[in-house]
Amino acid sequence: MSANRWFATGNFFSAYRDEQRIFATHLDRAIFATFLTALFVWPLCFEVSSKNMLVLDNILVAMVAIIGLNLVTGFAGLISIGHAAFVGVGAYTLALLARTIGDSHVLITHAWPLMLLGCGGMGALFGAFVGLPALRLKHLYLAIATLSFQMIFQWTINFLPMFNQGQTISIGRVFWFGGEVSRKDHYFFWYYVALTIVVVFGLAVRNLLRSRYGRSLVAVRDNDRAADAMGMHPGLTKVYAFALAGFFAGVAGGLHAYLYRGAGIESFTLQQSITYLAMAIVGGLGTLTGAFWGPAAIRLLDLQVENLVEWLTAIMPANMNLATALKPLTFGLVIVLFLMFEPRGIANWWRICRSYVKLWPFRY
Amino acid sequence: MTYFLQLVLSGIVVGSIYALSGLGFVLIYKSSRVLNIAHGQIIAMGAFITYALTVWLKIPLYISFFISMGVTFFLAMSVERIFLRRLIGEPIISVIMVTIGLMSILDGIIYLTPFGSFNYSFPDFFPKTTINIGPATISWTQLVGVIVTFVLIGLFSWFFKRSTVGISMRAVSDDQLASMSVGISVPKVFGLAWAMAGMSAAAAGGIIGNITGLNFETLHAFGIIVFPVVILGGLDSIVGAVVAGIIMGLIQQFASGYLDGKWGLNGTADVLPYIILLVILLFKPHGLFGTHEIERV
């Protein structure tokens, strides 16, 4: 291995352990630590409006969900057209509890980390159930299974009185050391919670992917018969991939419900599932960094589209429903264009930049 | 008993339309192994084009019906040419994703037209009186719709079974390499399969539009209800799509006729097909008529 663990010009791995390190060089680790500190510190230094904070919170929540979607679609190669429904399962676990025991019950306001884990667990349970056809079938049918789960979920929420028929179910304000989180600090507080969760989950997934359980996902994606011959159970691995994705989605759902202080069906529709897919594809399927690039890129694009709509409605006849038209149009275009011209997503640009810097001043 | 017969009758009406939309879906899947998630949007487009031609341009219904089939013929063919042709040989995931993206794009385009935000309904082309079949009744529009649907299904099946192009399509679905070696242009067949699926979708859209009126949400839902239909019938079986379409129509009518309003349930017709779909995937994944895929290493 290279003697210098700060600057490595090229790869000098001489043992598998070197290759599997979470950070290849000390410099990487230092940059990561600095970046993380910056993310945690900057809201304290600047005055950020609630509106902008909400955008950031949204991006972070989407990141949690996309880490899961990326695991199932990117690493395990199984399309999930119902990811919003899994997020919804998490949110509605919390909402249903809030509806039964009251939205300001001590369990919901004080034990919220436990609640988030509970949402994740419920998501994992549903994920595993929807993944069950994987024991007999290939990805194509699984995509249909997730789609039908999405439809069943939407019906359940929309028609059962238990879930308030899709109307918002409210959830109380949470407590932190030093009392209730006030309206002013609400988005601020959840920024930190979501950021912590994203960091922890990101590291956890990085760790998972270098372990046996993570690599079995990739093996099953690449060739499930070969994986079978090497002693993995392809079907069970797929079910487990869905359960993992469900867990992440469930936690994201719980976060979403706490963040908006309620759960309503409009955040968990088929349209939203497609948005999640767009995020995963734009970020880069099968890469961990893709799970962070995608939501950020799509949310920013979303904001731009909203600005454009505002600008257009001023000069266009008012009877056109531009907002509902332009969003699907741009997301669809983004999905199709990325798939045709850059199937590896933004993460690939990032990789190219990194390898350029890494090898500098040499070209290769 | 009358109630039962009435449900059977309306189930057949709805089911025959499902059969026609399922047929187009199966055509694409059978020849090119692409899961076309944007099928509902093509159905909606067919309906809207028919409406625009008949009501705004005052073209007789039967002519505009065929014109809209022609338009979607070329629309679907160009979709295949522009988006899917370059993905031949790519992993199946990206192909499905592209159709998802396509669905989103077509959604956006439709929302840009007035059809996205307003509901229209066709003027009455047929007498408003109803026909009595035994104790049950059926309207003229529905009757004509069912007849046209079955004629079209018959024509499509005949085309697929007997004509040279149809035979080459079946050959491609059986073995691409072998069919190339006997001089069949596989890309051309893919394009034709899409084009014919587009035609059948437009026909289905026109008929639905006449029976239920033009609401984008409802038409859009037809593209998703296609999934339970084709899974029940078997993804690659045309007969399966037709039989399963009618079964699904009957199930939906019975569900809304007998289940709704009991035990606080509502709108069961919208969810039952998907529950059935999940159950079929668990226990009989190849459906009623689908071929079992046997993998050999």
Q: Residue A292: inside a domain, yes or no?
A: no
Single pTM value for the model: 0.88
Q: What is the H or E stretch that residue A27 is in?
A: helix A26-45
User: SS3 of A263, please?
Assistant: strand
Of A143, A145, A332, the CB nearest to B108: A332
Q: Give B14 or A179, the one with higher predicted confidence.
A: B14
Report the alpha-carbon distance of residue B124 to residue B122 in Å, rounded.
6
Q: What is the pLDDT of residues B21-35, one digit of tens each?
A: 888 888 888 888 888
Candidates A81, A132, A325; nearest CB to B100: A81
User: Which of A345, A297, A353 shows the shortest CA–CA distance to A70?
Assistant: A345
Of A147, A160, A225, which is closest to B227 when you measure between CB atoms?
Answer: A147
B-chain CB neighbours of A302 within 8 Å are: none
pLDDT category of residue A168 using cuts at 50, 70 and 90: confident
Nearest residue, CB atoms, A339 vs list B94, B114, B266 = B94
Give mean pLDDT, residues A121-146: 85
What is the chain A residue with the closest CA to B263? A160
Would you give the distance in Å from CA B191 to the centre of its chain? 18
| Chain A with chain B: Cβ pairs closer than 8 A | 145
Domains of chain B with CATH codes? 2-283 (1.10.3470)
Whether A339 has a pLDDT exceeding 90, the answer reads: no
Which of A136, A155, A298 to probe by mutation at the B interface, max B CB count within 10 Å? A155
In this structure, what token pair is assigned to residue B158? 């005949």
pLDDT value at position A198? 92
CB A286 within 8 A of CB A119: no
Instruction: Give the count of domains, chain A.
Output: 1
Residues from chain A contacting residue B266 (CB–CB below 8 Å): 159
Helix (H, G, I), strand (E, B) or coil at A359: helix
Of A133, A143, A321, the CB nearest to B117: A321
pLDDT in tens, A229-260: 888 888 889 899 999 999 999 999 999 988 88
Average pLDDT of every residue of chain A: 84
**Contact status of A330 with chain B (Cβ, < 8 Å):** yes
Q: Cα–Cα distance between A11 and A134 in angstroms, integer?
A: 38
pLDDT value at residue A249? 93
A340/B83 touch (CB, cutoff 8 Å), yes or no: yes
Q: Is the pLDDT of residue A222 over 70?
A: yes
The pLDDT score that the predictor gives to residue A1 is 45
Residue A147 contacts B, CB cutoff 8 Å = yes
Q: Given this model, what pLDDT does residue A364 score?
A: 63
Which among A87, A90, A71 has a CA at the least distance from the CA of A79? A71
Token readout for A8 is 């490595």
Q: Tell me if A239 is assigned to some domain.
A: yes
CA distance A269 to chain B (A): 13
Q: Give the C-alpha separation, A70 to A346, whole Å.
A: 14
Touching check for A313 and chain B: CB below 8 Å? Answer: no
Instruction: Give the amino acid at A142.
Output: L
Which pLDDT band, with edges at 50, 70 and 90, does A213 fall under? confident
Would the CB atoms of B105 and A340 count as touching at under 8 Å? no
Chain B residues within 8 A of A133 when measuring between CB atoms: 278, 281-282, 285
Contacts of A277 in chain B (CB under 8 A): 97, 100
B256 DSSP assignment: I
Closest by Cα among A333, A226, A35, A73 to B103: A333
Q: In angstroms, what separates the C-alpha of B8 from chain A's closest C-alpha? A: 24
The Cα–Cα gap between A224 and B124 comes to 56
Tell me which chain A residue has its CA closest to the CA of residue B293: A137
Q: State the pLDDT at residue A242.
A: 92
Spatial CA neighbour of A197 closest among A292, A261, A275, A276:
A292
The verdict on residue A36 lying in a domain is no
Q: Is residue A301 included in any domain, yes or no?
A: no
Amino acid A2: pLDDT = 47
Chain B residues whose CB is inside 8 A of the A149 CB are 274, 278
A158 touches chain B (CB under 8 A): yes
Note down the domain range covering A184. Answer: 49-270
Instruction: Name the residue among A143, A335, A343 with its Cβ closest to that of B101.
Output: A335
Stated as kind and residue range, the H or E segment containing A220 is: helix A212-222
* Interface residue of A146, A147, A277 to substitute, partner B, most B CBs within 10 Å: A147
User: What is the maximum span of chain A, computed from C-alpha positions, in angstroms?
Assistant: 68
Provide the terminal-to-terminal Cα distance of chain B, rounded to the nearest Å.
55
**Contact indicator for B43, B21 with CB cutoff of 8 Å:** yes
The pLDDT value given to residue A340: 85
- By CB neighbour count within 10 A (0-12 exposed, 13-18 middle, 19+ buried), where does A175 fall? middle
Closest residue in B to A272 (Cα) is: B104
What is the number of H-type helices and E-type strands within chain B?
11, 2
Mean of the pLDDT values across residues A102-127? 85
CB of A37 within 8 Å of a chain B CB? The answer is no
- How close B276 comes to chain A (CA, Å)? 10
* Domain membership flag for residue A297: no
Residues B232, B287: Cα–Cα separation, whole Å: 5
CB atoms A332 and B285 under 8 Å: no
Q: How far apart are CA A137 and CA A153, in angstroms?
A: 22
Within a 10 A sphere around the Cβ of B22, how many other Cβ atoms? 34
Asked if the C-beta of A1 comes within 8 angstroms of chain B's C-beta atoms, the answer is: no
CA atoms of B15 and B142, how far apart (whole Å): 12
Provide mean pLDDT across the span A290-305.
Answer: 89
Residue among B6, B2, B8, B15 nearest B145 (CA)? B15
d(CA B26, CA A339) in angstroms, rounded, equals: 24
- Please, which residues have CB within 8 angstroms of residue A178's CB and are 6 or more apart in sequence? none
What beta strand segments (E) does chain B contain?
A: 130-133, 136-139
| Distance (Å, whole) CA B200 – CA A325 | 26
The neighbour count for residue A89, using CB atoms within 10 Å, is: 29
Please provide residue B108's backbone torsions phi and psi, each rounded to the nearest 5 degrees. -60, -45
Is there a contact between B96 and A143 if contact means CB atoms under 8 Å apart?
yes
Reported as a single tens digit per residue, the pLDDT across B119-140 is: 777 777 777 777 777 777 778 8
Q: CB B295 to CB A274 under 8 A? A: no
- Say if the Cβ atoms of B117 and A320 lie within 8 Å: yes
Structure tokens at B248: 């699904």
Beta bridge partners of A179: A176
Above 90 in pLDDT, residue A9?
no
What pLDDT, on the 0 to 100 scale, is given for residue A139? Answer: 65
CA distance A75 to A241: 9
Are B254 and B7 in contact by the 8 Å Cβ rule? The answer is yes
Q: Cα–Cα distance between A66 and A48 in angstroms, integer? A: 25
Report chain B residues whose CB lies below 8 A from the CB of A329: 104-105, 107-109, 111-112
Token digits for A321? 């429903």
- Cα–Cα distances (Å) from B29 to A116, A141, A171, A265, B39, in that order, read 41, 12, 45, 32, 12
Q: Which residues of chain B have pLDDT under 50?
A: 297
Question: Are A335 and B100 within 8 A, CB to CB?
Answer: yes
Segment A84-108 mean pLDDT: 85
Does A167 reside within a domain? yes
Q: Which among A143, A161, A333 has CB closest to B35?
A: A143
Mean pLDDT of A126-130: 90
Within 8 A of B228 by CB-CB distance, chain A residues are 148
Share of chain A above pLDDT 90, in %: 18
Would you report the helix, strand and coil content of chain A in percent, each value rounded to 5?
75, 0, 25
Determine, for residues A321 and B116 on separate chains, whether the beta-carbon distance falls below 8 Å. Answer: yes
Most confident of the following: A8-12, A16-20, A171-175, B150-154? B150-154
Cα gap B295→B292, rounded to integer Å = 10
Q: What is the pLDDT of residue A86?
A: 93
Cα–Cα distance, B294 to B110 (Å, whole number): 41
pLDDT band at A211 (very low <50, low <70, confident <90, very high): confident
pLDDT for A67 equals: 93
